[in-house]
Chains A and B, each alone.
Chain A
Amino acid sequence: MKKKEYSFELKNRLSELDTLCRNLEKYGRQIGLSSKMIFELNLALDELFTNIISYGFKDGEEHRVRVTLTPEKGVICLCIEDDGIAFDPTAFDHPDVSCSVAQCKIGGLGIHIIKKLMDDICYERCGNKNVLRLKKKFGKSAS
């Protein structure tokens, strides 16, 4: 597979989840990803993007979140950059997901899902930016 980068920007509003989905479908088909792979990349990026725009910006201004996908040998690399407040999702513990309806707490669920779906997650604060790099192996199944 030829190394080729694919990058796009999303505005900080929830309706941009549709743009995320459209872009992933388009790019995924171009490089021959399975529909399962596209679904799982979409879910991981959705959880991250939703977190960023829900908690990252306090100034009421428009911001851009940059998403970059790079296929490498046997791996898809994702990078998400935003200029919101510093937040390291890798620092969160797994919630207890083996519980009953009454006991189940829902905090941290999105991050738990991201950790289950991806093979590698690395956070860096660069200047005023959060930079999160994720890797997912081809053929890795979350379940």
Chain B
Amino acid sequence: MEIIEEKRDGIHVFKLNGRLDSNTSQGFETAIFQAIADGSKKIVIDFKDLDYISSAGLRVILKATKAVNREEGKIMLCAMQDYVKEVFEIAGFDSFLPIVTTMDEALKEL
């Protein structure tokens, strides 16, 4: 999986490309927790090019969301493909994680 990081007006954007599973989730966990440790409080995760997610990926998203909430920051998730969104729904994570359709909406919320 490829992780592209960008800064946009003080917002830290992660673009995920490929498959977020138990083999790749560790790399993403390291990257996002590094950003949180460096003081990023507004984070967008762009799922547009993410083809697959398993519970290992969901765990990292949940853990990062909890960590950012503790710092009184916010994470937005955007542009999920249908099958990926379905995994969030099966897990029940769509009921409490902020998922929006487009990057613009995500940036506006922060």
Chain A residues within 8 Å of B, Cβ to Cβ: 14-15, 17-18, 21, 35-36, 39-40, 42-43, 46-47, 50, 54, 97-102, 104, 106, 109-110, 112-113, 116-117, 142-143
- The reply to whether B21 and A17 contact each other, CB–CB distance below 8 Å, is yes
- The reply to whether A101 and B69 contact each other, CB–CB distance below 8 Å, is yes
Which residue on A lies nearest to B86, using beta carbons? A143
Interface size class of B (residues with CB under 8 A): 20 to 34
- Bound-state CA distance A35–B52 (Å) is 12
- Known A-B contacts A39-B83, A101-B66, A102-B66; the reply to A46 vs B91 at CB < 8 A is no
Chain B residues within 8 Å of A, Cβ to Cβ: 19, 21-23, 52, 54-56, 58-59, 62, 65-66, 69, 83, 86-87, 89-93, 95-97
- Known A-B contacts A43-B54, A106-B62; the reply to A50 vs B22 at CB < 8 A is yes
Prevailing SS type, chain B contact patch: helix
Residues of A with C-beta under 8 A to B59: 106, 109
- The reply to whether B62 and A47 contact each other, CB–CB distance below 8 Å, is no
- The reply to whether A47 and B96 contact each other, CB–CB distance below 8 Å, is no
Query: A102 CB to closest chain B CB, in angstroms?
Result: 7
Query: A53 CB to closest chain B CB, in angstroms?
Result: 9
Contact partner of B91 (CB less than 8 A), chosen from A42, A100, A112, is A112
